[in-house]
Amino acid sequence: MKNTFGNEVTVTLFGESHGPAIGCVIDGLPSGFRIDEEQLKQDMDKRRAVGAISTGRHEADEVQFLSGVKDGVTEGTPLAILIANTNVRSKDYSSLENLARPGHADYTAEMRYHGFQDTRGGGHFSGRLTAPIVAAGSILRQMLAGHGILIATHIASLHGIEDDSFSEGSLKEQMELLNGRAFAVLNESTGEKMQQEIRKAAESLDSVGGILETVVLGMEAGIGEPEFCSAESDLSAAMFSIPAVKGVEFGEGFRFAELYGSQANDAFEIREGKVVTKTNHNGGINGGITNGMPIRFRTVIKPTPSIARKQETVNFRTMENTEIEIHGRHDPAIIHRARAVVDAMTAITLADMLASAHGRQWLKGEE
Ligand SMILES: Cc1cc2nc3c(=O)[nH]c(=O)nc-3n(C[C@H](O)[C@H](O)[C@H](O)COP(=O)(O)O)c2cc1C
Ligand SMILES: C=C(O[C@@H]1CC(C(=O)O)=C[C@@H](OP(=O)(O)O)[C@H]1O)C(=O)O
């Protein structure tokens, strides 16, 4: 099983949705970093399910440190995080046994694990496994913040409803605003419409998806590798590790296809003694290496696969065609919760890249 991400700083995930607990082990951390547990709780709360726009499976998502932390300070040894599963309802899955939920991982899990997988609540494939990712990401994001690196994500669009765009002049203020919001939109009245759209989908026994847009400010130039471990490859590998992510694009992304080179290029200039670009169509990365401009990428989150409508499927043990009706507790949209996971995976990836360049102790603010 390949459940470890990273090189210098690694995060290993474990657990199943209906097991006793889920968690992760973070290795390669610097020693002597004081974790802001209040900030950690706020980050966990951004992913937690609340209200009618999320799954009815509400959990406290309380983070327990099993090792690697003494008196709130990292020891530099493996930091093990445990989050208890306290609200499982496994009977929801008894009528679904051996049926492949369309869009979910039940059939591929069967092919990969030969009948020994636990598919209840999505098993190891569950969105639930993103809770420890957010915990690990929060700790690393706190370290990056000490170096002036700021990460923020908004719901750029949800089922066709578009949020306002980031504006170059007030990027930092917009990012701070987003990080303080439970529902990550720049325009709150658009946010209301999006939440209405999620409730509408749930009422019609359906689900919706959308696009998340992430910006990273304060990332230095010169980080990354030219080909295989390019900044784009590492960040997209991180994004594709998040369940329900089906596409990632940097800068103008697929819109580059419609542009001339003269429109796609970012002209350079010297501003206050620094090399900058006048535009940022390339999303802060050239040749796989950061260029010091804000990193900008978009991630598409598909509609939740488990919907209550009747669907066609198969029983993969009896090899018969059949129909499936899913009556459990599911998110009518994943996107507003996935935003915290995208931020976390961004922090994990950038912390790993920076620790590879400068050494792990640099992360806590030492050269
Ligand atoms: C935060 C979060 C919550 C999720 N909630 C659900 C859910 O309630 N029901 C569901 O069927 N899938 C949910 N998913 C998505 C599935 O886990 C995912 O679609 C499935 O594992 C198949 O993987 P794939 O979509 O990447 O191919 C969630 C994902 C995330 C990130
Ligand atoms: C519990 C969470 O989401 C779960 C993700 C999920 C899936 O298939 O991904 C299926 C559901 O699990 P259950 O059927 O046990 O309620 C969701 O509730 C969570 O994200 O914390």
Confidence band for 366, pLDDT divided at 50, 70 and 90: low
Question: Ligand 1 centre and the CA of 33: distance in Å?
Answer: 33
Residue with token string 């295989």: 228
Write out pLDDT tens, residues 273-320: 999 999 999 999 999 999 999 999 999 999 999 999 999 999 999 999
Domain containing 153: what range? 4-358
* Residue 298: CATH number of its domain: 3.60.150.10
Q: In this predicted structure, what is the pLDDT of residue 168?
A: 87
> Does the C-beta of 330 come closer than 6 Å to ligand 1?
yes
In a domain, 168, yes or no: yes
In a domain, 366, yes or no: no
Atom number in ligand 2 closest to CA 130: 20
Confidence band for 365, pLDDT divided at 50, 70 and 90: confident
Considering only the C-alpha atoms of the chain, give the largest distance between any 2 of them, rounded to a whole number of Å.
70
Rounded to whole angstroms, the Cα distance separating 256 from 263 reads 9
Question: Ligand 1 centre and the CA of 338: distance in Å?
Answer: 10
Crossing angle for the helix pair 335-358 and 231-240, to the nearest 10 degrees: 140
Q: In this predicted structure, what is the pLDDT of residue 1?
A: 45
In a domain, 363, yes or no: no
In a domain, 367, yes or no: no
Measured from the alpha carbon of residue 92, the closest ligand is: 2
334 pLDDT above the threshold of 60: yes
* Angle CA 344–347–351, to nearest 5: 145
* Angle CA 115–18–56, to nearest 5: 125
Total of domains in the chain: 1
In a domain, 365, yes or no: no
> Does the C-beta of 306 come closer than 6 Å to ligand 1?
yes
> Does the C-beta of 332 come closer than 6 Å to ligand 2?
no
In a domain, 181, yes or no: yes
